[in-house]
Amino acid sequence: MAGAGLRIGVVGGSVAGCAMAIAGVRAGAEVTVYERSHGALEDRGFGIVVPPPLHAELVTAGYVDSAMPTAPVPSRVWLTREPGQRSARELARQKAAVTPCHWGLLWRTLRANAQGATYHRGRPVTEVLRHPAGGAVIRTAESAQRYDIVVGADGPRSVTRAALAPQVRPVPAGYLVWRGTLPLDRLTAHRRELELVRTAWITLGFRGGHGVFYRIPGAVEESGLLAYAIYGPPPPPSWSAGREEYVRRIAEEHFPAGWAEIVGRGAHTSLTCHDVADFHVPRVAEPPFLLAGDAASITRPHTASGATKALQDALCLERALRASSSAAEALSRYADERSDEGARLVALGRRLGHAMVERTPDWAAMGPAEIAEWSRATLDGAGSYLYGSVQRQ
């Protein structure tokens, strides 16, 4: 087993970094994690979703505790606003089970289960470089340490990726995503919307974009949170308020009344906006470097694969370390499996972005049959846990 006795340095202590640390420890390696932030990360309050089978695998393998709160739902509901009205119309229902989580709670349980690793908080990495005698060196302001493998789990602006694939840069999509969360106990006036998100996750289509709504456990709020991601064009040059505020304009112009009130006048616990972009590294490992999570590839968020991919990266690393006789063989196995997956997800995200933002269909003219056909055409043979069978109404 290649992992036994190896020294692994992990750059980045977020979800990807903690998961990779668990993988290394479970395979018998000595693992050190370098996290740039001084504070805890669990206050990052946005929602994520993972496929239910992956969640079960992570619990069985000991990466995630079974007691970690989640909010699983079995179905996806497609909505739009009735033309000329403010009411909602249901277009279709799909069997598309997801397990929504709170990002901070996921990080907290991964961090707790990475106790076998040394975790340096407030230790930004300034450089990683190959060592002439083999392995690599991680440099910080305090030290320079040599490792057999350096894992880059340090996100889109990865220092590690700069050493492995300096030519790779994010490619802007040309539109934005707004992410927000609201306490469910503040939304009691929206009974119909709350009933819906207790049993399904919602896709709300409009001309020029769409919104996704789902329930997640709260880090503090016992009632939980309503999380959303809304995709659309950037504000016009004449817009004088902040970019975060523009989502309220989108909701007012395009959403059914209940959903517009939630976004436009709801008491948010978090709200942010960022440009959508993507990239992937052609080969995500080359001894002694390995990339994981957002350091290896970023897909447009329509695929809901950010945390999922990072967790799958970790499971793959553990398998590769256990099945290989050397660090180089393990990294080759990892690269063979994860490089193609990153490229596949980026391609899928671009197709989804084109179909759901850049060239949206006439949502109001669609029903179950049209949603089913649109889904098949958009996926173009690719698999996605977000798209299941359309149920008859």
CB 362 within 8 Å of CB 40: no
DSSP 62: T
pLDDT attached to residue 391? 64
Question: What pLDDT shows up at residue 289?
Answer: 98
Rounded to an integer, what distance in angstroms lies between the CA atom of residue 95 and that of residue 104? 27
pLDDT for 392 beyond 80: no
- What's the pLDDT at 279? 97
* pTM score of the predicted model: 0.94
Does residue 319 have a pLDDT over 80? Answer: yes
pLDDT at 59: 97
Question: What's the average model confidence in pLDDT over 285-304?
Answer: 97
Q: What is the average per-residue pLDDT within 16-20?
A: 98
Tell me the C-alpha distance between 111 and 80, whole Å: 40
How confident is the model over 220-229, as a mean pLDDT? 86
Q: What is the average pLDDT score of the chain?
A: 94
What is the predicted pLDDT for the residue at 5? Answer: 86
Listed in sequence order, the residues at least 6 apart from 216 whose beta carbon sits closer than 8 Å to its beta carbon are: 47, 71, 100, 101, 102, 181, 224, 225, 226, 227
Under 8 Å between Cβ of 147 and 154: no
- The pLDDT assigned to 297 comes to 97
Which domains, ranges and CATH numbers included, belong to the chain?
7-43+104-170+280-350 (3.50.50.60), 73-103+171-276+356-391 (3.30.9)
Question: Within 10 Å of residue 317's Cβ, how many Cβ atoms?
Answer: 31
Q: Above 90 in pLDDT, residue 375?
A: yes
Per DSSP, the residues of 313-363 read HHHHHHHHHHH-SSHHHHHHHHHHHHHHHHHHHHHHHHHHHIIIIIT---G
On the 0-12 / 13-18 / 19+ scale of CB atoms within 10 A, 300 is buried
Confidence label for 221 from pLDDT (cuts 50, 70 and 90): low
223 pLDDT band, cuts 50/70/90, is: confident
